[in-house]
Structure 1
């Protein structure tokens, strides 16, 4: 039966996400660890300055599958090459004049963070802003032009080393998008459907719903990436697209079967259907796709379930058979380099200003205090910058916990482990141990990935102080204090200066979701399935915004009743997705009732809504 719509507490959810050994997570964490160790080996062998930053960037330049990881590493390297080429002609001026160096740092930071919010450079620009600010700060401590030129070369290597190691690891070890598409997303979704039929309950229902939405939101992107790397023949591409649509119909049918009140009938249907679903999942997990699957022999069912079983039989029998298109699809509009509203939505400029102001305040503080050991405060501002005040508050505890755990591990390493290290091999083993813990957390979902990145950052800053074992506890202390200062500065800036609220986006998003469902109800065949998958993705984002509303600053935060009413309405909308996809009778009337209730809720704005933005907030930087 359906699981409760009330989310678990944040600590319980984070602990569950940390412990979850989802398929592919261990392999991804080990690959991240290997990349960090490889980058550390090169940086230590050639005595590159600040090897901790080189190792840390290895976490940014990888993705669960190889194609996007390769694209990220290559584009990132090209990007840093262009930026450094622009800095070379003005290096002499920036070395000798602190004023122009500071102005250049602020201007480049603003420009890159604007691109990170309003353009397709979102995955790269925040990291490039970090590197650029760090290099300009480094130029201020170099006495001559030759050393400055070498400093720019080192800045290129800061990205070049982890990017090169990441490319090699992706080519040799990372799974292909096709493998993740069939062997992970679809196979896991079908297995979870079989589990729900065999052992119904809140836990299996929650897992089923999570994997169903993961399949709906993840398969289009993986299919696109598989097409980019030419991993699919035309025939297999058609088969996998058909398999995606058929899987969503199967999952919708299983959802409706599990909601039926007759427990004996559900058991009989499970005995008939679950073995077939497991067999199909096994074929997908092995790298193939099912063909010519015979539908199960169904038990006698009441009339209300007959259409569901008919749709289920059709989806299983034609799992990889392309349904005939009902109409010619118009060509998709090509998106430009900048996102819609890049120069009219002030949120992008405000986001860039907030990150830049936080970073420059930290820079001025450690410069005025003549305390270069806390330069990590400026770097941290680029790492932890998020789009909304609610996200900033929600992730603050995770960042602090990750920082303190990483610093504790780093200090323990300095005291108890590094004195026994006598070779580069020992240092690499230390890096591997600490970065595996960080990579395991970073490979999880958003509830803990932030803590993983912060843990790795703090650990490296403490344990990797130079080209050999470092024992200076004051260096570790200063670097950790810098991380905490940068985290606190980001919190103050993002919650006090142009705070972006998610509350104002919720009711308009509900209205858009209802309109999308109406459009799906009036469509048919493949168009209905495509619109239904878009609705699932929109509902997933909407659920995230509703959960974030509880973390709004006090002057923007709505009441608990306001949040609960939207959460309940979203649950009703999600219950309509399966009958809508299978064109069940009575869906239109239920959808109209939901639309009326949504209009009624939207008529009463929440407290503080006058400061909320009316459009979706900027997305956070990649891997923040």
Structure 2
């Protein structure tokens, strides 16, 4: 059996960087688009003297997504949120401009509602951005005591948001990536990578492939919005994605001694399906890859289960799969709030912790009379995530990115800025450094936030006004503010209702065990397909949370030590593969008593109960499905000692 590779925390730092900084054509175009956008935005701010030039340039980074549709949608959301926040700010100034006793509660309430609604409302991004802008506008009164002047400043905030929004919209309409083309390219590349993994397991990381495949599901949804004609392929694409994920999971369990000929034949089947997938969608491809020949039958459950999955994948890709009966679901209207918005206390607790950290940061720089470190407030707003491990990971990226960006800004202030003579040269400098920062920010979420912070720190240092900058204290104050904000976040997130990333991962493992239990007794192929997709999605989420738990150390203790997390994750992967194999080998047949017993054992294990290792109806070890059942029960025994 191939070894299960873990998260990024288990690999070398240099390997992680090489993987995260790898360039491809879409990423290069995205970097160039961001660099051009920042140069245009800076030119506009300098020509028309728009306030807050660093924020105008930084908004280009915040609004830029991987595809045109996402960028347009997020840009419109940002503009709506800014408009709402500016209107509310002007309204609130009528009451609290000269009343700090009223303004501070409004500041706290804005923070609480913004963070609470961002987690519980379908308008989450609008609520979050509106809450942030509203909170920030309330703090500006400290620097501009005149009500008329502060109103003027707040109205300019709308222009500060509108300028980069319009810039990035125009650039994406001219040069943006179509979600349709991007999703097809990514799907084809991932299918080829899965084939390579089957052929040579050491060539690919299965956990990384699963992560990319699950994220492809979101990109597919955007493609259907962009091109309505593609909705005819929606169900077919969904089934194909499920088959590829199932094949990847089962391939983890292939025996190391499997013959090279068998691996070639299985990989060839995936590549044939890939070619058919592209051909049916009107994409010109190279000649169909020749079959690798038929291998000798292998008496191995995983090999036979994988062959059956790839048979269904090939039929689906060629359009020859028989129509499947769709299950009827009652249409439930989407409400404004999620189902547990007012029942799960975790939402209110999270919002309260963020609010306390923001207010503590605000009090810190106000009592110290040090407005330059107001970035502490921004840090609390953007670093806070559900678990402490996720927040600690993000604050690590924020500090490292701010240090690198501050260093770049300081070097430019000392050695480059004195020699610049016009706006064109300044825009060239901004575009060059922005390209470097965008190279990092367009990576995965393992490092992308560091690129954003590099850009923001650089812009704050270099774009200090409408003349060449020379003051290094701005960089110093920003870094101090980031450290203060991170300290307050750490204090409140570890002392008030701490949420461990590892505990959340273990909760997802328990939920996956329930799904696996249901999978073994699934009544229809459609139900089984949905359960497999749920399990793989939860497996990806739990892998991410487990990797983030490395940033928690032992600050948050659980009922099980963190030292066993890797063993638990490996046991879950093996258990998932074994359950997939059993279900595939006996698909479309009545559920035997042995599978009912295994299902009950998995259900008991999900609830933390001891699972009996001896069962009356032992599977027949002379058949493939019997061997698969025997292996499944052995994996349940191993998992019972760990989970």
Contact 2:505/2:542 (CA < 8 Å) preserved in 1? yes
Is the Cα–Cα contact under 8 Å of residues 270 and 310 in structure 2 kept in the other structure? no
Measured after TM superposition, the shift of residue 416 of structure 1 is 0.8
Q: Distance in 2 between matches of 1:25 and 1:492?
A: 38
Q: Report the equivalent of 1:269.
A: 265
Deviations 1:539-573 (A, max 9, x none): 11122233334443435254244424422322223
Separation in structure 1 between the aligned mates of residue 443 and residue 543 of structure 2, nearest angstrom = 19
Unaligned runs of 5+ residues in structure 2 are: 588-593, 612-643
Contact 2:390/2:549 (CA < 8 Å) preserved in 1?
no
In 2 relative to 1, CA 62–331 (structure 1 residues): closer, same or farther, beyond 3 Å?
A: farther
SS in 2 for 1:582: helix
How far has the Cα of 1:316 moved from its partner? 1.3
The Cα shift of 1:118 comes to 2.0
Aligned 8 A contact 1:240 1:320 in 2: no
Superposed CA deviations along residues 106-133 of structure 1, whole A, max 9, x for unmatched, are: 2212211211222223334333333222
TM-aligned CA deviation for residue 98 of structure 1: 2.9
Summarize the alignment of residues 259-408 of structure 1 with structure 2, pairs less than 5 Å apart. 259=255, 261-269=257-265, 272-273=268-269, 276=272, 279-280=275-276, 283=279, 287=283, 297-302=293-298, 304=300, 305=303, 308-321=306-319, 323-331=322-330, 333-408=332-407
Q: CA deviation at 1:413?
A: 0.9
* Alpha-carbon shift at residue 44 of structure 1 (Å): 2.4
Separation in structure 1 between the aligned mates of residue 12 and residue 496 of structure 2, nearest angstrom: 26
The match for 1:536 is 536
Whole-angstrom distance in 1 between the partners of 2:118 and 2:288: 47
- The answer on 1:511 being equivalent to 2:510 is yes
Of 220, 225, 241, 1:223 maps to 220
Asked whether 1:432 is paired with 2:428, we answer no
Do the aligned residues in 1 keep the contact of 2:505 with 2:541 (CA within 8 Å)? no
1:311 and 1:555 mapped to 2: Cα distance?
42
Is this contact kept in 1: 2:517–2:602, CA < 8 A?
A: no
2:33 aligned counterpart, secondary structure: helix
Aligned to 1:622: none
CA positional deviation for 1:52:
0.7
Q: Partners of 1:467 and 1:501 in 2: how far apart?
A: 46
Q: Is the 8 A contact 2:72 2:169 kept in 1?
A: yes
Q: Is the contact between residue 183 and residue 287 of structure 1 (CA under 8 Å) also seen in structure 2?
A: no
TM-score, structure 1 as length reference: 0.85
Q: Give distance in 1, aligned partners of 2:605 and 2:472.
A: 60
Q: Is 277-286 or 157-166 further displaced after alignment?
A: 277-286
Match of 2:638? none
1:483 to partner: Cα distance: 2.4
Instruction: List per-residue Cα deviations over 1:350-376 (Å, max 9, x = no partner).
Output: 222222222222222222222222222
Q: Which residue of 1 aligns with 2:408?
A: 409
Q: Distance in 1 between matches of 2:122 and 2:284?
A: 34
1-side partners of 2:367 and 2:610: how far apart?
50
2:3 corresponds to 1:3: yes
C-alpha distance in 2 between matches for 1:444 and 1:261: 36
Are the structure 2 counterparts of residues 55 and 576 from structure 1 closer, same or farther at C-alpha, using a change threshold of 3 Å? farther
Measured against aligned partners, the alpha-carbon deviations of 1:272-303 in whole angstroms (never above 9, x if no partner) come to: 54763564577599847999999775233235
Range with bigger deviation, 244-253 or 415-424: 244-253
The answer to whether the aligner puts 1:164 opposite 2:166 as a matched pair is: yes
> Which stretch shifts more, 120-129 or 187-196?
120-129
In structure 2, relative to structure 1, the CA distance for the partners of 1:579 and 1:361 (3 Å cut) is: same
Cα 1:383/1:213, change in 2 over 3 Å: closer
Pairs within 5 Å for 1:143-182: 143-182=145-184
Give the direction of change, closer, same or farther, for the CA distance of 1:132–1:468 in structure 2 (3 Å limit): farther
Alignment match, 2:185: 183
Give the paired residue count. 597
Whole-Å separation in 2 of the counterparts to 1:168 and 1:577: 50
**1:386-535 counterparts in 2 under 5 A?**
386-521=385-520, 522-535=522-535
Corresponding residue SS for 1:350: helix
- Give the distance between the partners of 1:499 and 1:272, measured in 2 at CA: 49
Change (3 A) 1:386 1:602: farther
Which stretch of the first structure deviates more once superposed, 370-379 or 292-301? 292-301
SS in 2 for 1:447: coil
Measure the CA separation in 2 of the matches of 1:152 and 1:439. 29
Normalising to structure 2: TM-score of the pair? 0.83
Distance 1:44 1:29 in 2: 23
CA distance in 2, matches of 1:555, 1:303: 47
RMSD: 3.3
Q: Give the equivalent residue in structure 2 for 1:609.
A: none
**Which structure 1 residue ranges, 5 or more long, are not aligned?**
604-624
Q: Deviations over 1:162-189 (max 9, x none)?
A: 22222223322222222222211x2122
